[in-house]
Structure 1
Amino acid sequence: MTTAFASTPVLNNVFTHLSKNAGFEDIAAMALVGAASAAYMFKGTLWDKPDPYHYKWFERPQELMGARAGAQQTRNIAEKIEETGADMVIFWGSQSGTAERMSNRLAKECQQRFGLKVLSVDASDYESSTIAQIPRTKLAIFCASTFGEGDPPDSYQDLYSWLQSTSDRSLAELRYMAFGLGNSNYKHYNEVIKIVVNRLDALGAEPLLATGMADDAQGETEEHYLEWKEQVFGVFRTQLGYTERDPIYEPSLKVFEDESLEPIDLNHGVPADKTSDRKTNTSMSAVYSLPVKGARELFQVSEHRNCIHMKVDFSEHPELKYKTGDHLGVWPINPDAEVSRLLRVLGLISRRQIPITILSLEEDVKVKVPTPTTLDALLSHYLETCAPVSRETIASLVQFAPTSTAKDLLTRLSGKEAYADFLRSNYINLGRLLERAAGDEGAWKDVPLSFIVEILPVMQPRYYSISSSSVVQPRSAALTAVVSDTVFPGTNERIPGLSTNYMLALKESLEDKGKPHPHGLTYPLEGPQESLSGGRLHAHVRKSTFKLPALASHPIIMIAAGTGIAPFRAFLQERARMQSIGREVGPTILLFGCRNENQDYLYREELAELKAQFGDLLTLVTAFSRPDSGEKTYVQHRVVEHADEVCRLLTDGNANFYICGSASMARDVSNELGRELCQRQGWSDEQLKEFADKQKRFKRWQQDVWG
């Protein structure tokens, strides 16, 4: 531009000279050149401006179907409350989806019972500091789960950090209640909500109710939530003066058939790829259809119990990678029988392939499943059709009961004692419950489809520690999974684990074409639109911090029970490879517990071969809780027996310490090891805590455990 404007006087002189000495044609030609030059210089400013909405041509219309508005939302929660006229906001933090579902349910019931406008929000959607601007006339509820070593869920990270770091912000105007989800088998039971509440109080916020805490150690999360919810409603009635009314179902979604849609328009069941979300979780890969290149039974005696070793091939996707210690997320499929059972009682068997569209009726309610789709895809792949039914859901079904008998049964089962007694000998999901209450085909045809979509949880992946080393097998990953199959005492009723029974059916189909599942379960193994044909499953990789030390010469101690052996098989494979190429390998201890040496000693032959290769560098110790002879022994007992070496490596050798298995096992091991360390080092409980905290801070004490 500088050059163009600098030459303007020169052009003026030229035009002046031409006007005196040139003919009309020359002047006209130069005028055209000048006009063209000016047009070029002012392109994009005076003319041909870029359309600011041009990008709209490239937006995917299905992204707008999850919520009504596509407008940019404010990050200030106080502004959002004012914009929407809300009376209350629920900040949820959820790792597996339970806290989110409970928060959404609570928001809806507060509206139905008390006429309150409630926002149920992902805490990370708003600037944490703006909670200080919430006026005293409004209410806040904080609902968060605790996982791992007392860690907050991803969506609570910002709020959690802000509350712990801020000291100059008053929350004196904030009135709140809080509910935490945890498991007392874990050492840091409900740690997140405890810290959140302590910091809220320290900053001047006013609690209206004692903090509720759910304990899933005995599977009582739902009951603890319901008890706390009744206390919340009591506060509404007595302290706040709200009038309660009988709840009537008000849909937040619209579900309708649209036969004008073509198959190409539909989502047929392939898991939704969430990597395009605004808040991309960088620890997750995309979801892929991956070939299963081998599957075998690991239990020596598998008449009543099964354990699967499955090898999944990454070769088709060069961008898909994992590191030793990562997890594989497997997307399960609901069994055919349970999908058909629910469709039958709803009177929708003949409509299962008809296209349906799901739209949100409320600005702040998002559609959690891909749409448009079909009922078959929805109930087979996108919703957990086999999920247990809560008392709250049973109570909400009473209004749709087709007969007085069905109404009486549902009313009775919505009571706490009757519900608990029923579950002691019965497995119920939604289809089974409806069938039990009124089993004729189409008996429940008046239940709105929106109700079904709202109450069934969205399908979630199940995570398994990868039991292979990325150094040894970079283009394939192995997983190890015990098939979950709980049988009620004295009955033929069983609760089949959703993901593991699906994988068992897949394994059986690969081993022997047409071989049935041991319990008669069938699945659409070909997948949506045959995306899984030839023996595949949908899966993705999740990064983990459960890692080997950088140097193979660093000592490690591994404690495992059952399928907790999975990541340690990968660790040993990697160290064996390091040793085979001449790297120095440090002392390695594996303490492994299972039921019986001759039945479920996983990878027994492999471990024997590794022991032979490593020699004295590998200490392999087993514990059998149901031996053929002798006393039962658990891994924590072996920790005590080998405490001299374990404690020496931890304190003098800075060894990395790992536990993988059930949370209760990890707690018992940690307690026994703590006592042994205190005894040998002369430590107090506070000094032990300082040591453990330091080890964890430097990633030398890690756990990969489950409830």
Structure 2
Amino acid sequence: MKTANTLNPLPLSPLTSPLDEQQSTRLQTALVDLSPLQLAWVSGYLAGLGGLTTAANRSAGQPADAPESGPNLTILYGSQTGNTRTVAESLAALVRARGTEPRLLSMADYRPRDLARERLLLVVVSTQGEGEPPESARELHAFLHGKRAPRLEGLRYGVLGLGDSSYEHFCKTARDFDERFKALGGQPLLAPQYCDVAFQEAASAWSLTALERAAEHLVPREARIIQLPGTRPAPKTPPALDQAAPLTAHLLENRIVTTADAVGEVHNLALGIDPAALSYTPGDALGVWFRNDPALVEAVLRATGLDGDAPLSLDGAAYDLREALASRLELTRLHPTVVKAWGGLIGSEPLAALGQDPARLRDYAAGRQFIDLIAEHPGRPDAAALAAALAAALHPLRPRLYSIASSQAEFPDEVHLTIARVGYRVGGQERAGGASDFLTRRLTQDTPVAVHLATNPSFRLPHDGDAPVILIAAGTGVAPFRAFLQQRAAQGDRGRTWLVFGNRNFRRDFLYQLEWQAHRRAGVLSRVSVAFSRDQTDKRYVQHRLIEQGRELYTWLQEGAHLYVCGANAMGRAVHEALLDLIAAQTGSDREDAGEQLTALRRDGRYQRDLY
């Protein structure tokens, strides 16, 4: 959410600046609604773009490449969906705006043993699933909790966590980092900040405070734009825009890839894009904006007694309430904080009691939408105050992320998504997932859809096309592997590929079966192992297939295979446990030794996971 700008740029005049009148006007227009954090980022970016040195260096006559004295600032981020990377890059821009070049790294590119030499460190990290670190942070997290972790008495640090309080282990990874730094002798620069889903305002405030605390230890030197480790060089074509300025795509095809009698309905969507504006790599995800169902919006208006035409201000922009509910506010994901806020608005004692039991509150919110909450706990607060209170209580509508299921090498101006339509019943009423229903039922070829690219550099095919790969997926987790195989086919890679896929039924939901068969015939796919849980009395999942074929799988690993896992967090944990068991069985070692082997594979980039 964009924060209000409290810094009013001074008027520019062609008489006092090197800009002409038209350039001055354009610059003023671009800056007028930026927040302090955004202004600082733009300042750092422009300083680097122009190759400017700091005023301190210029006045002292210090050359741009003069050796640095004093501690440098390192900023580490551990990201799964890209939010923490965005925060870290904004923080780095703040530092550059003050004339110092920070060391900005993904935790995946950081050598844990370098911690012993750090003096100033800011960490931005998310939490996955049941309190687990994101894939890029796993090695550093394990190192800090292991026997080789060094004493850190000389370290001053700060920790910012991004999470979701609807999960039991809210921001656990960030808490882990803070506790371990402190236990190893580190000195906090400021209190840790644990941000909920709407993180922008809290993250901005923490970033500014962290920089103020670190400023007295920093030594100014030339600010410049540097290439982030693990990223591709900047393309000559315009880059894909971020969430603040999405691109536009349009529907080309909506094809159901399950049978009519399948338990779940899965679609393959093909969206047309401008390849000059959006360039993606297999393993990346696409963020998709959507609109809430108009029928749901009207139901909320009826239940609250509010006028849909009533004006409402959100982030400084004017809407009528109906449009705000349709396009700006979250209605289909009920967050525990919304339950507590509604209980406060209507003075509900049952909801107040529910708010005192976090586990019950999470369970209640997980199975309902906002319309269910207000239907089960009706109330009619003062209409004049209710609309603004709802806008403050409901979370902003965020784009949903989907793994990209196509390769641009095969579909240069398209991006494909594998979408399971979410549907369930609450109190006898049919409910649908906001994004999946919009994309599979309500999106037409005449309706543009806003999208943004979420890169995932920690989930990539090996650079060596001769390297064997093992792809393990369940359900729609197979989406990125469809892209992987298209890419390998287009590149003419000769490495063997083994797909291990699981779902409910062979006949009903063997997703993309004909495509896998075509890849088998073409020699792109060497081996397929399947597990359909409901085709026999005893349920069989992908982890069972791994154990059954443990000897062959371990042989592939010994021959240099890269291992990929994509699917739900629970599936990822089950697969990891199965890998520990099969490695221990094949080597005659214990699970601790097997864990070290998996850690080594992860460190070498040969064990990559994309879990959700």
Q: 557, 568, 576: which is aligned to 1:662?
A: 568
Does the CA contact (< 8 Å) of 1:387 and 1:456 recur in 2?
no
Aligned to 2:446: 534
Paired AA for residue 500 in structure 1: S
Aligned to 2:25: 57
Q: 318, 325, 329: which is aligned to 2:276?
A: 318
Paired AA for residue 332 in structure 2: C
Does the CA contact (< 8 Å) of 1:284 and 1:543 recur in 2?
no
Q: Tell me the C-alpha RMSD between the 2 structures.
A: 4.9
1:295 aligns with 2:254: yes
Aligned to 1:704: 610
Deviation at 1:619, TM superposition (A): 0.8
Taking a change above 3 Å as real, the CA distance of residues 564 and 93 of structure 1, as seen in their structure-2 partners, is: closer
For 1:534 and 1:671, the matched residues in 2 are separated by 47
SS where residue 472 of structure 1 aligns? coil
Paired AA for residue 496 in structure 1: A
Aligned to 2:439: 503
Deviation at 1:417, TM superposition (A): 8.8
SS where residue 547 of structure 1 aligns? coil
Deviation at 1:563, TM superposition (A): 0.7
Does the CA contact (< 8 Å) of 2:502 and 2:541 recur in 1?
yes
Relative to the length of structure 1, the TM-score reads 0.58
Aligned to 1:377: 323
- 1:396-407 equivalences under 5 Å are 396-397=341-342, 400-401=345-346, 407=348
- 1:226-305 equivalences under 5 Å are 287-302=246-261, 305=264
SS where residue 384 of structure 1 aligns? coil
Taking a change above 3 Å as real, the CA distance of residues 375 and 567 of structure 1, as seen in their structure-2 partners, is: same
Q: CA offsets, 1:243-277, max 9 Å, x none?
A: xxxxxxxxxxxxxxxxxxxxxxxxxxxxxxxxxxx
1:624 aligns with 2:532: yes
Bigger Rg over Cα: 1
Taking a change above 3 Å as real, the CA distance of residues 383 and 198 of structure 1, as seen in their structure-2 partners, is: same
Q: CA offsets, 1:190-237, max 9 Å, x none?
A: 44431222103333559999x9999xxxxxx99xxxxxxxxxxxxxxx
Q: CA offsets, 1:67-124, max 9 Å, x none?
A: 599986999xxxxxxxxxxxxxxxx99977999xxxxxxxxxxxxxxxxxxxxxx976
For 1:434 and 1:474, the matched residues in 2 are separated by 46
SS where residue 569 of structure 1 aligns? helix
Paired AA for residue 458 in structure 1: P
For 2:95 and 2:185, the matched residues in 1 are separated by 17
- 1:175-574 equivalences under 5 Å are 181=163, 190-203=172-185, 205=187, 287-302=246-261, 305-314=264-273, 316=274, 318-352=276-310, 354=311, 356-358=312-314, 367=315, 371-390=317-336, 392-397=337-342, 400-401=345-346, 407-408=348-349, 410-411=351-352, 413-416=354-357, 420=361, 423=364, 427-429=368-370, 431-438=371-378, 444-488=382-426, 491-506=427-442, 510=444, 534-545=446-457, 546-574=459-487
Q: CA offsets, 1:432-474, max 9 Å, x none?
A: 434544467xx54043544322222122111111111221112
Q: CA offsets, 1:599-651, max 9 Å, x none?
A: 11111222222222228x61111101000x45321111111111111111112
SS where residue 528 of structure 2 aligns? strand
Deviation at 1:150, TM superposition (A): 2.4
Relative to the length of structure 2, the TM-score reads 0.66
Taking a change above 3 Å as real, the CA distance of residues 152 and 188 of structure 1, as seen in their structure-2 partners, is: farther
Deviation at 1:559, TM superposition (A): 0.6
Deviation at 1:169, TM superposition (A): 3.7
For 1:415 and 1:187, the matched residues in 2 are separated by 17
Q: 480, 489, 499: which is aligned to 1:576?
A: 489
Taking a change above 3 Å as real, the CA distance of residues 650 and 473 of structure 1, as seen in their structure-2 partners, is: same
Deviation at 1:564, TM superposition (A): 1.1
SS where residue 385 of structure 2 aligns? coil
For 2:539 and 2:82, the matched residues in 1 are separated by 38
Deviation at 1:397, TM superposition (A): 4.2
Aligned to 2:218: none
For 1:664 and 1:614, the matched residues in 2 are separated by 32
For 2:389 and 2:266, the matched residues in 1 are separated by 37
Which structure 1 segments of 5+ residues have no match? 1-46, 76-91, 100-121, 130-140, 215-220, 223-279, 359-366, 511-532
Paired AA for residue 50 in structure 1: S
SS where residue 317 of structure 2 aligns? coil
Which structure 2 segments of 5+ residues have no match? 1-13, 45-76, 85-89, 101-121, 198-238
Q: 537, 544, 549: which is aligned to 1:642?
A: 549
SS where residue 392 of structure 2 aligns? helix
For 1:597 and 1:183, the matched residues in 2 are separated by 37
Aligned to 2:112: none
Deviation at 1:660, TM superposition (A): 0.8
Aligned to 2:52: none
- 1:161-172 equivalences under 5 Å are 167=152, 169=154
Paired AA for residue 574 in structure 1: Q
SS where residue 478 of structure 1 aligns? strand
Q: CA offsets, 1:341-381, max 9 Å, x none?
A: 333455543525x5x544xxxxxxxx4xx624443332211
SS where residue 599 of structure 1 aligns? helix
Paired AA for residue 57 in structure 1: T
SS where residue 566 of structure 2 aligns? strand
For 1:143 and 1:647, the matched residues in 2 are separated by 36
For 1:671 and 1:418, the matched residues in 2 are separated by 26
Taking a change above 3 Å as real, the CA distance of residues 357 and 166 of structure 1, as seen in their structure-2 partners, is: farther
Paired AA for residue 133 in structure 2: G
Aligned to 2:494: 585
- The 10-residue stretch of structure 1 (419-428 or 553-562) with the greater mean CA deviation from structure 2: 419-428
Does the CA contact (< 8 Å) of 1:434 and 1:444 recur in 2?
no
Aligned to 1:111: none
Aligned residues: 487
Taking a change above 3 Å as real, the CA distance of residues 338 and 399 of structure 1, as seen in their structure-2 partners, is: same
Taking a change above 3 Å as real, the CA distance of residues 67 and 572 of structure 1, as seen in their structure-2 partners, is: closer
Deviation at 1:384, TM superposition (A): 1.0
